[in-house]
Amino acid sequence: MSQAPDLGEQKFLSEYLEDDERCWAMSGLPALPVAFLDRLLAQSKPPISTSLNGALKMWLPREDGEGYVIGADPAEGLAHSHMSAATIRRVRDWAHVGTLQGHFPPGEFGGLLVQLGKQFNMALLAWERNNHGHGVDVKIREQLHYPFIYRYPQDKLPGFPSNRWTKPDLVGLTHEAMTLETWQSQDSELIGQFRMMQDLGDGRYDTGTLDLASSDMITLIARDQAKRVGRPRAEPTPNIPRWMRRS
């Protein structure tokens, strides 16, 4: 019997796939450590609570005195487009707290982000600076005047300019965190999106429909700014607010 060539773990998995599901998900070169993600996927758990018609899923409750960062990938909000998505992480230990995902138009999505930011101790909000991100920016800064926002260090403008030149930084930081196993999540959908991400070469990654993965990578690049944000004392909010429970 001939042996498979020594291509390294990720290259090997892209060339010698184990089953139909993996073959469908990984037709190219994986961008992130597959074995680590597979281990997390096996340990994933359902959320402890859901609200907003299932759009908001929580794995950990909000805690007084903790800092949070919320990364967001805005979308058009149409039924046939990919979904707007946000990821909530606790700054201190980078625990994955929750996700928001749905067909929200930019203005509505921006309003939801502000509500979540206030709920989570005036969290730092960071969003992808794209066409749809402009509507989120207007809602957050100009209409609702939310003060704690991420600014891209190179130009000091709000939001992260995700493009061919900056996206490798997102993926690189995420790969490093996963390699060091400082990145964790119990969300099978988020883990699955990272599991599907492919490196297309020349600084390109197929993140177009991976909305949760994109939002989570933005939290990571905004973490340093979130550590430096000074927040007023949060009002007691033991549960998800009533507006998030609409039927």
User: CATH number of the domain that 174 lies in?
Assistant: 3.30.420.240
**pLDDT tens readout for residues 73-94:** 998 766 677 899 999 999 999 9
The residues pairing with 159 across neighbouring beta strands, listed in sequence order, are 151
Task: Output phi, psi for 191, to 5 deg.
Answer: -60, -45
Domain assignment present for 241: no
Per-run averaged pLDDT (10 residues), the chain, 247 residues: 40 39 54 96 97 97 97 82 92 97 95 98 95 90 97 95 88 95 96 92 78 95 88 48 48
Angle at 188 between CA 13 and CA 179, to 5 degrees: 50
What total number of domains does the chain contain?
1
Domain assignment present for 224: yes
Domain assignment present for 1: no
Q: Which amino acid is at 77?
A: G
Domain assignment present for 243: no
Domain assignment present for 244: no
Domain assignment present for 52: yes
Length of the chain measured in residues: 247
Domain assignment present for 246: no
Q: Whole domain around residue 166: which residue ranges?
A: 9-231
Domain assignment present for 242: no
